[in-house]
Amino acid sequence: MEFIKGITFASFARKGLLASEEAHRSLDNLVARTNANLIIIVPFGLQETAHSEKIEYDMTCGDDELTEFIDYAHKKGLMVALKPTVNCRNGTWRAHINFFDEDVPCEPKWCNWFSSYTDFQLHFARIAEKAGCEMFIAGCEMVQTQRREAEWRKLIGDIKSVYSGPVSYNTDKYQEHNVSWWDCVDIISSSGYYPINDWENQLDRIEKVVKKFGKPFFFAESGCMSVKGSNLVPNDWSVKGDVDLQGQADWYKAMFAACEKRDWVKGFGVWDWAGRQYSVQDAMTHGGYDIYAKPAEQVVAEFYGRK
Taking only the tens place, the pLDDT of each residue in 46-68 is 999 999 999 999 999 999 999 99
Going from the C-alpha of 19 to that of each of 76, 79, 137, the distances in angstroms are 16, 19, 23
Q: What are phi and psi of 46, to 5 degrees?
A: -130, 135
pLDDT band at residue 281 under the 50/70/90 scheme: very high
- Domains annotated on the chain, with CATH: 4-223+263-276 (3.20.20.80)
Distance, CA of 220 to CA of 269 (rounded, Å): 5
Residue 258: per-residue pLDDT: 98
> To the nearest whole number, what is the mean pLDDT of the chain?
98
Residue 178: per-residue pLDDT: 98
Q: Give the contacts of 172 (CB within 8 A, at least 6 positions apart).
A: 95, 140, 141, 143, 190, 191
Taking only the tens place, the pLDDT of each residue in 100-134 is 999 999 999 999 999 999 999 999 999 999 999 99
Residue 274: per-residue pLDDT: 98
Q: Which residues pair with 45 in a beta bridge?
A: 86
Distance, CA of 145 to CA of 8 (rounded, Å): 23
CB 112 within 8 A of CB 166: no
Query: How far out from the chain centre does Cα 29 lie?
Result: 20
pLDDT band at residue 96 under the 50/70/90 scheme: very high
What pTM value is reported for the model? 0.98
Q: What are phi and psi of 87, to 5 degrees?
A: -130, 170
Residue 169: per-residue pLDDT: 98
Residue 48: per-residue pLDDT: 98
Residue 262: per-residue pLDDT: 98
Q: Average pLDDT, stretch 26-35?
A: 98
Residue 295: per-residue pLDDT: 98
Residue 236: per-residue pLDDT: 95
Of 279, 305, 307, the closest CA to residue 292 belongs to 279
Q: Average pLDDT, stretch 208-219?
A: 98
Residue 132: per-residue pLDDT: 98
**Class of residue 64 by CB neighbours under 10 A (exposed 0-12, middle 13-18, buried 19+):** exposed
Q: Which residues pair with 218 in a beta bridge?
A: 189
Residue 276: per-residue pLDDT: 97
pLDDT band at residue 45 under the 50/70/90 scheme: very high
Taking only the tens place, the pLDDT of each residue in 141-179 is 999 999 999 999 999 999 999 999 999 999 999 999 999
Q: Average pLDDT, stretch 4-33?
A: 98
